[in-house]
C-alpha cells in the first residue's frame, strides 16, 4: 500500500500497546490520509479548523472511521465550528477558551490542557505554574471533561535534549493527578513528535503525535 502505510505500521508496532498514536495531518494530501487510515490509523490530529473541515469532507465515509483531535491553537471565534467536527481538544490553554468551549458544547467534550513547558514565546500553552489552577477551573465547567496534559517541546536536533522537558511534564502530570482535582481524571499525557516520541515514551507519554516520520517531509 506504499510508504505511508508501511511507516504507519512500523511505528505502530514499535510502540507499547497502551500508547496512542495520533497521526498529525497538517499539510497532507487526501491520498496520504486515506492510506494511513487504511493502514489502521484511528486518531487524526489537525492544527487548523479549516483544513480539518476540508480533510473531513474529502475523506467521505473514511472520515467517520477516525477520531478527530484538535492539536493546534484554537481561536475563540472558531469554537462552534471546531465543536461540530472534533472529538477531542488537546490544546486548551486559557480559562477563556475553556469557558467558550463549555458554553457552546451540547455534551461534555474531552480536553487536554496544553502546557508551554519551556516558556517559549513562539509557543502556545499555559505556564506549568498555572496548570493546576486551569485544570481545576476547567474541571468545574459543565461541558468539559479534563483528561490530561499536552505539550509541544522545544525542537531539538538531538531528541535527548528534550528529555528534561518531558521529565518536567511527567512530574507536573503526576502532581496534578495526586492533587485529585474534583471532576478531573488525569489519564492522558500527550507529548513527543516524529524525532522525539521514543524519548517522550521513556519519560511517561501515553499519547504521541507523529506526522513527518509517517508521511515524510512536508
Ligand X SMILES: *Cc1c(COP(=O)(O)O)cnc(C)c1O
Task: Write the CB contacts of 84 (distance below 8 Å, at least 6 apart in sequence).
Answer: none
Query: How far is the C-alpha of 216 from the C-alpha of 56, rounded, in Å?
Result: 21
Contact 37, 58 (CB under 8 A): no
Contact flag: residue 210 with ligand X (CB under 6 A)? yes
In the bound state with ligand X, the residue whose beta carbon lies nearer, of 8 and 141, is 8
Q: What does each C-alpha distance from 90 to 5, 32, 144, 151, 202 come to in angstroms?
A: 25, 23, 12, 9, 21
Binding segment for ligand X among 34-42, 97-105, 175-183, 203-211 (CB under 6 A)? Answer: 203-211
* Site stretch for ligand X (CB under 6 A), options 31-39, 120-128, 159-167, 205-213: 205-213
Which residue in the set 47, 80, 132, 143 belongs to the binding site for ligand X (CB under 6 A)? 47
Window 83-102: contact mask with ligand X (x via CB under 6 A):
--------------------
C-alpha grid cell, residue 62: 473514511
**In sequence order, which residues have a C-beta less than 8 Å from that of residue 152 and are 6 or more positions away?**
114, 123, 124, 125, 191, 193
List 113, 193, 205, 207, residue binding ligand X (CB under 6 A): 193
30 vs 142, beta carbon nearer ligand X: 30
From the list 3-11, 118-126, 180-188, 207-215, the region that binds ligand X by CB under 6 A is 207-215
* Residues making contact with ligand X (CB under 6 A): 24, 26, 47, 71-72, 152, 193-194, 209-213
Amino acid at each position: 500500500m506504499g510508504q505511508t502505510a508501511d511507516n504507519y505500521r512500523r511505528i505502530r508496532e514499535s510502540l507499547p500497546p497502551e500508547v496512542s498514536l495520533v497521526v498529525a495531518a497538517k499539510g497532507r494530501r487526501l491520498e496520504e490520509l486515506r492510506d494511513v487510515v487504511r493502514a489502521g490509523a484511528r486518531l487524526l490530529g489537525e492544527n487548523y479548523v479549516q483544513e480539518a473541515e476540508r480533510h473531513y469532507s474529502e475523506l467521505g465515509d473514511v472520515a467517520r472511521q477516525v477520531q478527530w483531535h484538535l492539536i493546534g491553537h484554537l481561536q475563540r471565534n472558531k469554537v462552534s465550528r471546531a465543536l461540530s467536527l472534533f472529538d477531542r481538544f488537546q490544546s486548551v490553554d486559557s480559562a477563556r477558551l475553556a469557558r467558550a468551549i463549555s458554553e457552546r458544547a451540547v455534551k461534555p467534550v474531552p480536553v487536554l490542557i496544553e502546557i508551554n513547558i519551556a516558556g517559549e514565546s513562539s509557543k502556545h500553552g499555559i505556564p506549568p505554574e498555572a496548570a493546576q489552577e486551569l485544570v481545576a477551573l476547567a474541571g468545574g465547567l459543565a461541558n468539559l471533561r479534563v483528561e490530561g496534559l499536552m505539550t509541544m517541546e522545544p525542537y531539538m536536533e538531538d531528541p535527548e535534549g528534550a528529555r528534561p522537558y518531558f521529565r518536567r511534564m511527567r512530574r507536573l502530570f503526576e502532581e496534578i493527578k495526586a492533587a485529585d482535582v474534583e471532576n478531573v481524571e488525569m489519564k492522558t499525557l500527550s507529548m513527543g513528535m516524529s524525532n522525539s516520541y521514543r524519548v517522550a515514551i521513556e519519560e511517561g507519554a501515553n499519547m504521541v503525535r507523529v506526522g513527518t516520520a509517517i508521511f515524510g517531509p512536508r
